[in-house]
Amino acid sequence: METSAYIRTENVRKVYNPGRPDEMTALDDVSITVDRGAVTVIKGPSGSGKTSLLSVIGCMSRPTAGRVFVDGKDVVKLPERFLTGVRRKKFGFIFQQYHLIRNLNTLDNILLPLYPTNMMPPEMKRRALAVMAKLSLSGKQHSRAKNLSGGEQQRVAIARALINDPAVIIADEPTAHLDRGLAAEFMRILASLCGEGRTVLIATHDPFIYGHDLVGKTIAMRDGRIEEER
Amino acid sequence: MIKHLKIIDYALASLLRRKFKSLAIITAFTVVVTALASILLFTGALKKEAELVLAGAPDLIVQRTAGGRHDLIPAAYADKIREIPGIGMVIPRYWGYYYDPLTEANYTILGTDGKAERLELLEGRLPERDGECAVGAGIAEMQRTVGGGELILVDSSNTGVLYEVVGVFRAASSLLTNDLIVLTDNEVIRFFGLPSGKATDISVQVYNREELQTAAAKVKRMLPDTRPITRTELVRTYEMVFNWRSGMLLTVFSAAVIAFCILAWDKATGISADEKREIGILKAVGWDTSDVLALKFWEGLIIALTAFLLGTIAGFVHIFFFNAFLLAPVIKGWSVVFPDFHLAPHLDPYLVFTLGFLTVAPYVASTVIPAWKTAVTDPETIMRG
């Protein structure tokens, strides 16, 4: 397995509401590497800055200072429209709350990333059905997101993250709402994604995940700083 | 192209997902557009009718005034007016208003010497003998008569007179002939009991239209007890009346429009938490700011265009197929006592464009601008709330 760094951060700092009474430093001097094709876990208690770091790496927000390299390119200074392109082509996100559109059906939720592309609708559907089959979601395409179980919602979120065939899967507290059985199912899915050569970055405080054999690197965070990397 | 078609498809699906909200906005918007379209179409159609009427009006009408009021004019004045250089045909006219208690409507009775050139939109012919008449379409409808039928009127001596209908007007402008009854000049004089040698007014043809004001001034100098009225003055009076009435209605109605704009602005600016979250999700999964704005643009345009089309069609049907029953009492004013007349369907492209610009553009803007505020924010910030 190739283990060169696919993502690298240098002295990243993220401050929310700078200059205001409620100013809060979420990340302070964070420098990490995420290896290509491996599972990297960022662990730490709530408020330690895990989600902020995922957002900065995933081009969902810009750091206040520091640099972020994705596949060798510094993405911090990229204009908004290029940043969107990076987000769409390189990353697939699985959010803690899944962030599905509740009134949309499963198929349309999965197709969301493909709407602002020039892919023809039949090809979009073919690709979505293939991903759904892989995640045991066949037969659920017309079910509305709000009517799905927690495990099903998570698999829809994974399917949506995979539809663009991204190089990196970013998952934020993916097992927070799952029982142990479903968490094990999630890890099996991750194993298959790694088998396809994808890079996986997970933020969690669930020992079941960061103690899992699949994890190649664990980064511990506390109060916005890196506490340990091994 | 494919990308934009898919965004339009998503916009449609998005509106359908919020169908009750979308329907409520379309309904309110349609009512506003219908009312606006009705006022503008009605005023426009009346002006058009007036233009047609006035296109056939004499260059100059000479009335006699007594005590500031219109009075009968000596027919002999016509001979004096003919002496003025540049004056063409001069015809004393005999006409008056007649109230029919049976149908509770006012008719206009006009005399003819049988040679009137401008009454060509006639099925049948003009009266040539006493006891004959030609009537407007409105009167034929109210009196349930047709060419070859009969019409009974009560003259100034309270005696019923039977007329044979020899012609029915089918004018392009029903305003011109709708309430009209044409009798011979002699019959009009007898019917109204006009004094011998007196006419209602005198119509005057002026060869050079540029000299109209000069001719009017000469008539006034020669006959100081008269009031010459040029066609331009008539056109101006009509326009002022219609503009004033539509302006008054628009002023009253503007309160409703403003209320709707506030509602639309509130709806748009107050993007709900769900809508904000949706924008955040779309951005997180790879939608660009311009994609989100395109989505909101199409959502706004679909709603606004639907309401605009429905409202314009409803306004058109209201005005031209249901006789503007909601607006007629206000805009037509005193003319409600005349027989109902049907406005000729007429749609001015400039008016449609103006209506579209005044309704569609503000709504789309009030949808896109607030969404832009959310769409330029980092997806993480939006989803954090």
Residue keyed to tokens 């078609």 = B5
d(CA B171, CA A105): 60
What pLDDT score was predicted for residue B171? 54
More confident residue, B112 or B259: B112
Output the DSSP codes for B89-135: EEEEE-EEEEEETTTTEEEEEEEE-S--TT--SEEE----STTEEEE
Residue type, B340: D
Burial B353-377, CB ≥16 within 10 A → b, else e: eebbeebbebbbbbbbebbbebbeb
Q: Do A108 and B285 touch (CB under 8 A)?
A: no
Segment A114-126 mean pLDDT? 92
The minimum CA-CA distance between A115 and chain B, rounded to whole Å, is 6
If pLDDT is split at 50, 70 and 90, which confidence band does A107 have?
A: very high
Instruction: Indicate the range of B236-240, B241-245, B365-369 predicted with least confidence.
Output: B241-245
What pLDDT score was predicted for residue B114? 67
Q: Do B287 and A99 touch (CB under 8 A)?
A: no
Rounded percentage of chain B residues whose pLDDT exceeds 90: 21
d(CA B185, CA A147): 85
If pLDDT is split at 50, 70 and 90, which confidence band does A1 have?
A: very low
Average pLDDT across chain A, whole number: 88
In the predicted model, is pLDDT for residue B107 greater than 70?
yes
Rounded percentage of chain B residues whose pLDDT exceeds 70: 81
Instruction: Indicate the range of A123-137, A207-221, B367-381 predicted with least confidence.
Output: B367-381
Q: Do A95 and B380 touch (CB under 8 A)?
A: no
How do B198-199 and B73-74 pair as beta strands? Answer: antiparallel
**What crossing angle do the helices spanning B273-284 and B349-375 adopt, rounded to 10°?**
70
| DSSP secondary structure letter of residue A180 | H
What are the structural domain ranges in chain A? 5-102+151-229
Reported as type and span, the H/E element at residue B363 is helix B349-375
Q: Do A116 and B6 touch (CB under 8 A)?
A: yes
If pLDDT is split at 50, 70 and 90, which confidence band does B336 have?
A: very low
d(CA A208, CA A187): 10
How do B60-66 and B226-230 pair as beta strands? Answer: antiparallel
If pLDDT is split at 50, 70 and 90, which confidence band does B48 have?
A: confident
Of B249, B358, B262, B250, the C-alpha closest to B308 is B358
In the predicted model, is pLDDT for residue B173 greater than 80?
no
| CA closest to A100 among chain B residues | B281
Give per-residue pLDDT as tens, B250-264: 666 666 666 666 666
Show residues of chain B in contact with A85, CB under 8 Å. Answer: 286, 288
In the predicted model, is pLDDT for residue A41 greater than 90?
yes
More confident residue, B66 or B247: B66
Of A84, A101, A164, the CB nearest to B281: A101
Find the chain B residues whose C-beta atoms sit closer than 8 A to any C-beta of A: 2-3, 6-7, 10, 13, 17, 277-278, 280-291, 376, 378-381, 383
**The two three-digit tokens of residue A134, written as one number:** 């892989």
In the predicted model, is pLDDT for residue A163 greater than 70?
yes
Show residues of chain B in contact with A80, CB under 8 Å. Answer: 288-289, 376
If pLDDT is split at 50, 70 and 90, which confidence band does B116 have?
A: low
Residue keyed to tokens 């709330």 = B385
Question: Are residues A7 and A70 in contact, defined by beta-carbon separation less than 8 angstroms?
Answer: yes
ipTM computed for the complex: 0.86
The minimum CA-CA distance between B373 and chain A, rounded to whole Å, is 14
Tell me the sheet residues that pair with B65: B70
Q: Do B283 and A95 touch (CB under 8 A)?
A: no
Compute CA B168 distance to the chain's CA centroid, rounded to the nearest angstrom: 24
Domain A5-102+151-229, CATH homologous superfamily name and number: P-loop containing nucleotide triphosphate hydrolases (3.40.50.300)
**The two three-digit tokens of residue B147, written as one number:** 């060419």
More confident residue, B119 or B8: B8
Start-to-end Cα distance in chain B: 33
d(CA A109, CA A145): 8
**The two three-digit tokens of residue B262, written as one number:** 């506030």
Alpha helices by DSSP H, B180-269: 185-192, 212-222, 231-269
Residue type, A42: I
Residue type, B12: L
If pLDDT is split at 50, 70 and 90, which confidence band does A106 have?
A: very high
Question: Are residues B271 and B374 in contact, defined by beta-carbon separation less than 8 angstroms?
Answer: yes
The minimum CA-CA distance between B29 and chain A, rounded to whole Å, is 25
User: pTM (2 decimals)?
Assistant: 0.71
In the predicted model, is pLDDT for residue B36 greater than 60?
yes
Of B33, B40, B35, B43, the C-alpha closest to B361 is B33
Q: Do B3 and A55 touch (CB under 8 A)?
A: no
Residues 6+ apart with CB under 8 A from B56: B118, B176
| CA closest to A52 among chain B residues | B380
What pLDDT score was predicted for residue A224? 92
More confident residue, B307 or B101: B307
What pLDDT score was predicted for residue B342? 65
If pLDDT is split at 50, 70 and 90, which confidence band does B334 have?
A: very low
d(CA B293, CA B316): 33
Say how many CA atoms lie within 13 Å of A75 toward its Cβ. Answer: 29
In the predicted model, is pLDDT for residue A187 greater than 60?
yes
Q: Do B284 and A93 touch (CB under 8 A)?
A: yes
What pLDDT score was predicted for residue B332? 56
In the predicted model, is pLDDT for residue A28 greater than 90?
yes
The minimum CA-CA distance between B286 and chain A, rounded to whole Å, is 4
Residues 6+ apart with CB under 8 A from B275: B374
In the predicted model, is pLDDT for residue A3 greater than 60?
no
Show residues of chain A in contact with B380, CB under 8 Å. Answer: 55, 60-61
Say how many CA atoms lie within 13 Å of B40 toward its Cβ. Answer: 22
What pLDDT score was predicted for residue B330? 64
Q: Which of A45-54, B109-118, B356-365 tops mean pLDDT?
A: A45-54
If pLDDT is split at 50, 70 and 90, which confidence band does A87 have?
A: confident
What pLDDT score was predicted for residue B305? 93
More confident residue, B145 or A59: A59
Q: Do B285 and A93 touch (CB under 8 A)?
A: yes
Of B289, B290, B383, the CB nearest to A99: B383
More confident residue, B144 or B96: B96
